[in-house]
Structures are given as structure tokens and as C-alpha cells.
Structure 1
Amino acid sequence: MQKLPVIVGFGGINAAGRSSFHHAYRRLVHEVMKEEELAPMFEGLSKLMKLEDANDRQYMLDHTLIRKIESQTFDINNVKTHRKTSMKAEGEAIKFETRKRQLPETLPENWKVEDLGGGKVSVTVEGEMEVLTQDSYKIAVTSGAQLPTGFDPAEFYSSRNQPKGLQLAVFGASDALHSMGLDWDTVLEHIEPDEVSVYAASAIGQLDDFGGRGLAQAGLKGGRVTSKQMPLMLTQMPADFVNSYMINSVGSTGANIGACATFLYNLRQGIGDIQAGRARVAIVGGAEAPIEPEVIEGFKAMGALAEDAQIAAIDGTEECDNRRASRPFAENAGFTIGEAAQFFILMDDELALELGATIYGAVPDVYVNADANKKSISSPGVGNYLTVAKCMALAKNILGEEGVKQTYASAHGTSTPQNRVTESHILNEVAKAFSIEKWPVCGVKAYLGHSLGPAGGDQLAAALGVWEYGYIPGIKTTEKLAEDIYDSNLEICLDHKFVGDKGEQMKGVVLNSKGFGGNNASGLVLSPHVAFEMLEKKYGAERLADYRAKNESVKATAKAYDEAITKGDINVIYHFGTEVMQGEDLKITSEGISLDKFKNQLNFDTENPYSEYC
């Protein structure tokens, strides 16, 4: 019988705040939350934002979610650049003095250099001279889904000049690990050393001064490339950091990149390892910090981002409403870029019951399909019809013909004109095929923007909140849908939709992602209510009662962590240079490998998997 991958912990950070224990979710739907649910959310935000007045809730609301890009990120009115300028003297040659060490190694042919002594030289240029002059400009896109104002992940551990995306990965993965309510060493005592998988990535890499931008621009700016910029810019670094500095893993690892579908690609890898028995625990996630001028200019050149002038034109106003820049399925102009880190801990069902881990839901499968032939590499194609339909077919097989109607869709919902038409058609056609009259659809990018690699993680974190507080987040950044969408069988939620206590009316959700290049992924996530029904059928009521008894202490430990971090006691897991093993710290036999830092041995398979051929 195939093992069921269940979610036992999650954490991270995005424009709404901290993900664990549904803090960020509560920010999305704060209008319908009760005071006892809001109070800890605001307290936690105040500590993350380092506010002196913890009661200034309006400030916290104004400085979270999508808003005008703030100076803590970069100065939108003064973006530094260089302009290529050709100079020619009128009459006499161009002459200037400079330091000898500032001369180029290869002198232009029309330069004559005279040594003035004292490390200085005089340069005479005959004819034209090309120079780069410093310049600045006001960026045309000023909206971004930034982290809460004042939050800096580098403050919580020795970040050693790491790119911001990796700092977010450390914070997010640490938050997820703590959220389990189980010590990681306790988990390792119940599994073999290699029965852990870590799949995490960014979609575009780390592109700030400590990563790709610093690497590419060092020579042009007269600086030097550092030893860290090249390795730390790579897209798989979020996974590598988890393995090497957080969990001491010798298990499977990787970074499956699928543009905007990257998170679901990695989720697929993790659950596949659990289902096949290759791993008993999978850590899946992603981190991205793309609110950088160069990244914005790149997407703007593609026509993908919503420019201020376009948003204002839609509204018939002179000023752009930054808070409402992202409007999935409404009249819109492009997506709004966001930054985030999201991580999820999954276990096979048997291990979760054995440890008493809290189960937030189950992920039976993720489907990935390409777009086939098309005219433009960035345009959508047919692949996403396949992935969504496969998810619903699986939901029907598990939940039944009526149960499949008790699901909803968390749309990719980028807020581009092309997406609103194509994705609404996909979802509408699938709803028709499965006889769903009004399939609820939400689009959390209305609040969180598009965080690229971790975007699917933003969707999953919000979905888990629905099964705690009962509201599907509505698209409240618009008052009406666009006229060119398809919604005969859809209920695109423009307001927060209540779906019962603990979201009991929704048995599952389809997470949908569409990425540039034809990278389509859709994942089915089952509610915790359905997961426990399945587990009781498999293991029986007595086993579940034993599990619930174990779970009490686990929940208490998790709650203690939540209360501590909410009050500002932020304890990030980061072990640099500790528990390091070399070749002499392990022993290899024909039966397996013993590692000095692990209690259990890694055992080799004893059966020939190709016995039918041998």
C-alpha cells in the first residue's frame, strides 16, 4: 500500500508576515478574524517589525502586503545606473590627471600617459574617448509585495554576507522545523540517516550584491569578484543551506526548477520520495528575494509587470494605487513582484503517527505537464489543462463524485491580462467536466504578489489557514471581474468566503502554478479532516487514539515555540562548522554504513530489484 505524505510542520515569511501557526494567513483575512485571533497576529508582527508601539495596528496594516516599494529595499526615485557617453575635445586633446593604479591594464591606442611621480599620471587623449557616467532614474514600477517593514532576517544569525534570499531560506526553514513541536534529533532517532529528502530552490537565483548582481557587475564597477558570489547565487542554495547548516542531512537533495511553478516541482519530488519509500521525511520549500531594480527591469521589458501608469489608466486616475496593483481575474496590467520564503515538513503517515506529529493536511500527488509546441516560449499552452484535470480526477477517486465538488482552486492568478483569460478558461472547463456548478476560486497574489519560486508555497500556507479558521481569502483588491474571463462554472471569490468551522465544507484544494517556458504544475492537498478519515480506515480507531495521546505533548511544545517567537524571542537554527564529519567518521560494511554523528545505521537494500532479469 502506498504511503500517504502528510504535512506536519510549516513556516516562513512573506509580505503578510510569519507563516507558521497561520499568522500570515490571519493578516490576509484580518477583516473577519475575532479579536482573540488578531491579537497574537499583531503582537507577532510588531516584534518582527521592531515597533516601539505594539498597538499601532494601522501602521502594521499599512506596511505589510503589496505597497509602494520602500527605501529599506531600494530608492525608487534614485535607481543608480550608468550612461555610455562619447567625449571629444573641441580643438585641443582631452587631458586629465589620475592615480597610476587607476589606469586600465590595457591602454587605449589613443591614450598617451606621462608619469608625474607620487603615484600620479597625466593622460592625453587624441580623438574620442568613451566613458561611463553615473546616472539615476525613477523606476516605472513602484509596487512590490515586500516583507513587513523593519524585518531583517540577517539580524537573527551570523549571515556572513549572504544574499538576502538565503537569509530568508534560513529563517523560513528554521520556522518550519520549530513548528513541528518535535526536536530534529528525535526525528532522526526514528529513521535511517538517508531517509530524509530536502528539495528547495529559488527560480532565478540570488541576484543582489552578495550574489549574481555583485558577480556580474564587479568588473564594470571597478571592483572584485568575491569567493562567495558565484556559489551563493545558485538556485539550489536554499536546499544546500538546509542540509549543511540546519539539519545535518546525508539524505536525498535537489532543486527542481520550473520558473513560477518551482515550489510545486519540489513538492512533487518530496512526496514522490515518501510514496516510493526512499524517504520518510521530506523538507520542501523555496526562497526568493527578487525586489531588485535589475529584476524589475527584466520583467518590465517582457511586458509582465504592472507599471504605475498602466494601473492609473485602468482606474482613470493620475496616481497609481499601489495597494491594489495586483488584481487577479479583474481588469489588470501585469503581476506585482514579491519576496518570500516558504518551507513545509512532510512525513509518511506511519512515522507521523508514531511520533505524534500534528497533521495539517495530506498531499496525495502533484502533476507536471509541458505545453507542447507553441509560438512563444513565455506564452501559456495546453499543459495546465492536463495538470488541473489530473488533480480533479485524483480528487474524484479519493473523495467520490460528490466529494470532488467539495474542493476549491487556489489559482496561480498572476494579475496579467493573459493569465486571467487562459487560467479562468482552464479552471472553468475542468469544473464543467466534473459537474461542478460553481467551483470556488481564490488568488492570494492579490495580497502577496508573485514571489516567483516560492509562490506555490504562499498558496499552500494560505490553504492550511482555511482549515483552521474557515475562510477562503477573497480577491478584495477589485470590485468586479474582467469581462473577458470564463466563469460560467466558477465562483471567483471577491470577498472572504466562509466554508464552515475549520473549513469543513472543503475537503481539498487544487494548488495551481503556471511558469514561463511551459512549466505547469498542479497539486491536490487534502484537508486534515479527510486525512484522518483515511488514516483511521487504514490503522483503526485504537491506533488513532494512541496517536492523539502522543500528539498532546507535541502540540504543547509547538505552542510554546509560537508564543515565544510571537513575543520576539526569535531563535533561528543555524549550525556553522559544527558536527562536521570526514571520511574517518564513518564505517562501511557490505550491509550498510555507520556514521559517527548518527544513532542509526544506513542499511543497504538486500534484494535485487532486477531479479526477473537475472
Structure 2
Amino acid sequence: MPGRNRRRGRFEAAITGLGMMTPAGTGTAASWKGIRQGAGTEAVKVPELADIAADFVCRVPGFDPVEVLGRRRAGQFDRSSQLLLAAAIEAVADSGLDPQTWDGARVAVVIGNGIGGAQTWETQHRRLLDSGSRRVSPRLIPMLSANMAAGYVSMEFGAQGPSMVTATACASGTTAIGTARELLRSGACDVVITGGTEAPLTPSLVSGFSQMGALSKRTDDIRAASRPFDADRDGFVAAEGAAVLVLERAEDARARGAGIRAMVSGYGASADAYHPTAPDPECKGAALALRAALRDADVTAQEVDHVNAHGTATLINDATEARLIHGVLGDRPLVTSVKGVTGHSLSAAGAIEAAVSALTLAESFVPPTANLESLDPEIELEVVAKEGRWMPVEVVVSNSFGFGGQNAVLVLTRA
């Protein structure tokens, strides 16, 4: 029977498949387990970063691209594409759809990716400087280009529908999922493979974030370094990761008897038009996106049970997002940031958090915010800490914000 949140005029995109490669675990089950436990930041020291203030990052533990793709194929992809393909293979298998029998012309791909093949670029640039241009790989361009994140997924599954990459910085994964839902609504396709990926853990990029003052310098306790909403937070921990969702129109998914994790029921996007890296302290642009997502989902602020926050653990961003949530949604919804466990995987973050939001709805469990010991007294929210909460969850908001004032918000509802 339709749930109490199903509205006649609302367009619902059913999430029928999930795939996750995160610092919390390799695969959806392992990632969800780590996030549910909320034990702390899965960070590791990196010798190549020894000369900067933040010499640690979050990697996907135990990920072996050769095991997933084979040795020959794995060597053809940048780390960001390896993670993405692994997540996509898991998500499509989870959906129960068969790429051998589906109509590829009706399958679209939308992936969030802001930086592209960062590790390939840095490796090949070093080779150019050390050994000359003849030693640069002929695969450099297809391994580097950001659009290839979608291109490789399309090739993997014979998806011949619209194929694109969204690049809205740390909002990219969320923008991709919102765009994917719009393709379904328009009738341009029947299935969309969507999500986000990023593997930015190179010396130059981590150094760049460190020089900006964006990264935590808690080198003496890296497991407690990422502290969203905590009074002692001092920056984010750079991470890699990928997450993929398979979306279908709700009626199509029900007709084939698919297992539906949750519905993507609303999407809103906006720009701050304020500053290259800092959020608008008055939250005007972000509020536009949040209110647009609520309208699109046909839900009121009072109906939102949970917010999966962007929650980067930086001083300004957490405080600004807290003002946004309190100003638009009040103090009713429980709030969580999973970045206390996963670190911040940039373009992949929104997709990872959308997948977590779907699992929260499916299992009626709100995960905790790791490393939250003392809530910043200026943050007027009920942030879940220490242990997760078992509770009925019908409506979840998932926020993402990026450099350039990019704002993207999803509303997910129970299937």
C-alpha cells in the first residue's frame, strides 16, 4: 500500500540498486556497517605528505581493482574510475536488472566528478619531467578527462542513453542524482546509473587543500581528526570514494517486482553567488535549494525526520549549514554527518550520503556522527552522536555544498 508520504503530484525515482566504495568499507554492506558503528575516521598516514601539516587521508580499505576488473583492464583506468566501476558493478547487480537483456538506448548514465583522473595526471606529469614526453602514456587523456567517468560506465553496461558528468565541486554527486531523476521524469530514459566518484589523494591536491587551511591538522590522533559539528573541529580529512545508485521510475520498478530501497522524491539546486570558497553566511542560496527540494517532494519542513548533513568538520561550513537547517527545518529533525567516519571524498560525498540516506530509510536507523564529543554551543541542532537511533524515518534531506557556491539538496522518502 502507498506510504503516508506518497503524494499524487510528486515524481518518485525508485532506488533499486546500490554500490559503495568508501573509507568505511569496500562494498555497500561493509560501508554501511562502518558508518552505523561510527567508530571514528578511517585515516592513514601517507609518507609522500610528510612535509605538510595534514599528512593523513582516508582510503578505501582493501580495495583491489585487479580483483574486480582483471589485471589488464584495471591498468586502463585512473583510481577514480576503478572505484566507480566497482561501485557500478555492485549497484547494477543489486538492482536485479540484466545488462545483457535491457534496451541500452533507454539506459542513461549521470556521474558526479569534479577533478577527473588526478592520480594519473600527477603520475604522468612526473614521468614527463623525469623522462621526457615520449614516456608519457598514450592513455593519459582518456584516463584523465572527467567526462570519462560516465563514459566508462556506459561502455561497461552498454548504456546508450544520455551520458554525462556533473561538476559542481563537492555537490557533484548530489547534482548527478538530481539530474538523473529529471531524465527519468522527462521520459528520456527508463533506467539511470548515477552517483559520484573521486580519488584526489595526490601530493599536489592534498597540499592545495592544506595550504587553504581546509584540512584537519590533528596528526597526533588521526582517527578523531574529522569532527563534524564538534566544538574542537579544525578541518576535514581528504578522502577517496565512490557510490552508485540505480534509479527507475517508481511504477516501472514496482511492475517488475524490484526491491526498492527508497525514493528520490525531491531535488533543489542553487548558487550562492557570493565567494569562490566560503559559503554565504546568511544561507540565502542554500535555503533556495533546500526549499526547492521540499516543494519538489511536496513535503513540509515539519515532515522532515532526518538530515544527512554535508557536515565537513570545517569551522565556517558546519556553522553555516547548522544555521540553514535550523532556519528552514527548525530543531525537529535528527542530524548526522557521516564524514566523521568517511572523511570528505569531494565529488563522491553527495552520492555516498544519498546511499546512506536510502539505507537509513530502508532500515529505520539513523547513524551517529563519529568523533562528536562536545557539540559546538552555537549549533542549535539535535546531532546524533555516540550511538545511532532506531526510529521510524519517512523523510530524509541530504545536503551538499561545493566551492563556487554550488548548492544541491535531495529529499528521499520511504518506499
Report Cα offsets for 1:173-221 as digits up to 9, x if no partner. 1011111123223433xxxx4222100132111111xx21134333322
Residue in 2 that maps onto 1:220: 129
Report Cα offsets for 1:10-37 as digits up to 9, x if no partner. 11211111343x4311222238xxxxxx
Of residues 30, 44, 66 in structure 2, which corresponds to 1:154? 66
The amino acid of 1:453's aligned partner reads: S
> Is 2:240 the partner of 1:355?
no
Distance change >3 Å, CA 285–CA 476, structure 1 → 2: closer
> Is 2:238 the partner of 1:377?
no
Contact 1:10 1:19 (8 Å CA) reproduced: no
Counterpart CA distance in 2 for 1:256 and 1:221 is: 34
Contact 1:329 1:415 (8 Å CA) reproduced: yes
Residue in 2 that maps onto 1:320: 220
Please say which structure displays the higher CA radius of gyration.
1
Give the CA deviation at 1:161: 4.0
Of residues 392, 410, 413 in structure 1, which corresponds to 2:294? 392
Give the CA deviation at 1:472: 1.0
Counterpart CA distance in 2 for 1:172 and 1:371 is: 32
Of residues 232, 236, 240 in structure 1, which corresponds to 2:147? 236
The amino acid of 1:326's aligned partner reads: S
Distance change >3 Å, CA 392–CA 295, structure 1 → 2: same
> Is 2:312 the partner of 1:305?
no
> Is 2:409 the partner of 1:509?
no
Of residues 355, 358, 372 in structure 2, which corresponds to 1:464? 358
Runs of 4 or more above 4 Å deviation: none
Residue in 1 that maps onto 2:413: 526
Counterpart CA distance in 2 for 1:201 and 1:521 is: 12
Gaps of 5+ in 1: 32-60, 70-74, 80-136, 312-318, 529-614
Residue in 2 that maps onto 1:493: 384
The amino acid of 2:389's aligned partner reads: F
Of residues 178, 185, 193 in structure 1, which corresponds to 2:100? 185
Contact 1:442 1:474 (8 Å CA) reproduced: yes
Contact 1:2 1:276 (8 Å CA) reproduced: no
Contact 2:369 2:385 (8 Å CA) reproduced: yes
TM-score using structure 1 length: 0.62
Gaps of 5+ in 2: 1-8
Report Cα offsets for 1:484-504 as digits up to 9, x if no partner. 33x1xx21112334243xxxx
Counterpart CA distance in 2 for 1:281 and 1:143 is: 38
Three-state SS of the structure 2 residue aligned to 1:165 is helix
Counterpart CA distance in 1 for 2:180 and 2:221 is: 40
Counterpart CA distance in 1 for 2:250 and 2:36 is: 31
Give the CA deviation at 1:390: 2.4
Three-state SS of the structure 2 residue aligned to 1:219 is helix
> Is 2:29 the partner of 1:141?
no
Residue in 2 that maps onto 1:121: none
Report Cα offsets for 1:231-281 as digits up to 9, x if no partner. 21111212100111x111221110111000000111111100111111111
Contact 1:409 1:512 (8 Å CA) reproduced: yes
Counterpart CA distance in 2 for 1:379 and 1:336 is: 18
Give the CA deviation at 1:380: 0.5
Counterpart CA distance in 1 for 2:388 and 2:74 is: 41
Distance change >3 Å, CA 335–CA 329, structure 1 → 2: same
Counterpart CA distance in 2 for 1:26 and 1:342 is: 15
Give the CA deviation at 1:2: 6.8
Give the CA deviation at 1:65: 4.7
Of residues 34, 37, 44 in structure 2, which corresponds to 1:68? 44
Distance change >3 Å, CA 255–CA 447, structure 1 → 2: same
Distance change >3 Å, CA 144–CA 160, structure 1 → 2: closer
Counterpart CA distance in 1 for 2:33 and 2:128 is: 46
Paired residues for 1:70-89 under 5 Å? 75-76=46-47, 78=48
Contact 2:44 2:57 (8 Å CA) reproduced: yes
Residue in 1 that maps onto 2:5: none
Distance change >3 Å, CA 186–CA 353, structure 1 → 2: farther
Report Cα offsets for 1:519-540 as digits up to 9, x if no partner. 1100101112xxxxxxxxxxxx
Specify which structure has the bigger relative contact order, considering alpha-carbon pairs within 8 angstroms and separated by 6 or more residues: 2
Residue in 1 that maps onto 2:23: 15
Report Cα offsets for 1:60-94 as digits up to 9, x if no partner. x8xx952233xxxxx42x55xxxxxxxxxxxxxxx
Distance change >3 Å, CA 495–CA 469, structure 1 → 2: farther
Residue in 2 that maps onto 1:271: 181
Give the CA deviation at 1:377: 1.1
Distance change >3 Å, CA 65–CA 185, structure 1 → 2: farther
Counterpart CA distance in 1 for 2:344 and 2:334 is: 21
Three-state SS of the structure 1 residue aligned to 2:269 is strand
Contact 2:305 2:394 (8 Å CA) reproduced: yes
Contact 2:372 2:386 (8 Å CA) reproduced: no
Give the CA deviation at 1:420: 1.7
Contact 2:361 2:394 (8 Å CA) reproduced: no
Paired residues for 1:415-454 under 5 Å? 415-432=313-330, 437-454=331-348
Counterpart CA distance in 2 for 1:465 and 1:259 is: 24
Three-state SS of the structure 1 residue aligned to 2:346 is coil
Residue in 2 that maps onto 1:170: 85
Aligned length: 398
For the aligned residues, what is the CA RMSD? 2.1
> Is 2:31 the partner of 1:24?
yes
The amino acid of 2:367's aligned partner reads: P
Three-state SS of the structure 1 residue aligned to 2:167 is coil
Counterpart CA distance in 1 for 2:14 and 2:344 is: 26
Contact 1:473 1:495 (8 Å CA) reproduced: no
Three-state SS of the structure 1 residue aligned to 2:105 is coil
Counterpart CA distance in 2 for 1:10 and 1:427 is: 27
Of residues 472, 477, 482 in structure 1, which corresponds to 2:376? 482
Contact 2:268 2:291 (8 Å CA) reproduced: no
Three-state SS of the structure 1 residue aligned to 2:166 is coil
Contact 1:11 1:18 (8 Å CA) reproduced: no
